[in-house]
Amino acid sequence: MEQLMRDFFLFLSKNKTLTKLAKQYGLRFGASRFVAGETIDEAVRVIRQLNEKGLAVTVDYLGEFVDNEREANEMARHCLEAIEAISREKLNSQLSLKMTSMGLDISDDLVMRNMHRILEAAKQRGVFVTIDMEDYSRCQKTLDIFKRLKTEYDNVGTVLQAYLYRTEKDIDDLKPYRPNLRLVKGAYKESPEVAFPDKKDVDENFKKIIKQHLLNGNYTAVATHDDAIIEYTKQLVKEYNIPNSQFEFQMLYGIRPERQIELAREGYTMRVYVPYGTDWYGYFMRRLAERPANVAFVLKGMIRK
């Protein structure tokens, strides 16, 4: 049943008609639990509150699968606006973005032009930028672009997904670049030809790649809400005397906020992924797909309304 619900919400996440309706009607029916607002000012208020609780942040202007140059340039403008706000307000925040929102599906020239604008502005203001990973069909292209950018900029990292068979090899391939990587389980529906279909295999591969990347000596963001993975990471770094300065934990805004504060109080860097913007629908559906408890929360919100 849980797998059916996951597949259903992942299917809905790609529905363009529902995406348009979501933009029209705003952050209703529980989405505001997971999305900080529609504007940078709303996001800044949330980031400041999280910083005051001892939590670091990475902020993301939501948008994906952009199919025209005007929209890609507009997405880049929002990223520049976020970088400026982080610097101006002296926030403890990084920036996350998706390659498809920068024009990945349109042209290499467009996506590179937008990324250079963003990374240059971020470099000048001391802001780190993480390139989010998307579905499998865009994985290699995203990594190719990341490698090109990493030869020019130190303030850029990317994401690898534990549910893909290829990830162990990708970590080896990226090792010479000394990358800052966010490691995640993965949130897209993928074929068993390219991804582990069983959760237990994903979990085991997640542990394997965390160890692999940490022992390579590179900065590792362990993005998980799973206590077993968190405890595994704690024991691993203790066993190998890896300093807290070489890794961090990451969680999504609105999910397990008490646990986030706990980890920060234990002395770990705990970074919260804070999305904002009008194109929140696909992100929201993937959060519902991940945890049935999220669906129950949203249904309660709808009943109250």
298-302: long-range pairs with CB below 8 Å, 24+: 298/29, 298/30, 298/31, 298/33, 300/30, 301/29, 301/30, 301/33, 302/29, 302/30
Q: Count Cα atoms within 13 angstroms, Cβ side, for 147.
A: 12
Query: With contact defined as beta carbons under 8 Å apart, do 165 and 198 qualify?
Result: no
- Measure the CA angle with vertex 275, ends 11 and 186; round to 5°: 45
Query: With contact defined as beta carbons under 8 Å apart, do 118 and 97 qualify?
Result: yes
Virtual torsion, Cα 259, 223, 284, 51, nearest 10 deg: 60
Set 138, 182, 286, 287: catalytic member: 182
- Separation of alpha carbons 96 and 179, rounded Å: 15
Catalytic annotation present for 182: yes
- 3 state SS of 125: helix
Catalytic annotation present for 132: yes
3-state helix, strand, coil in the chain (%, to 5): 55, 15, 30
Set 132, 170, 203, 279: catalytic member: 132
Q: CA 158 from chain center: how many Å?
A: 9
Catalytic amino acids? Answer: 132, 182
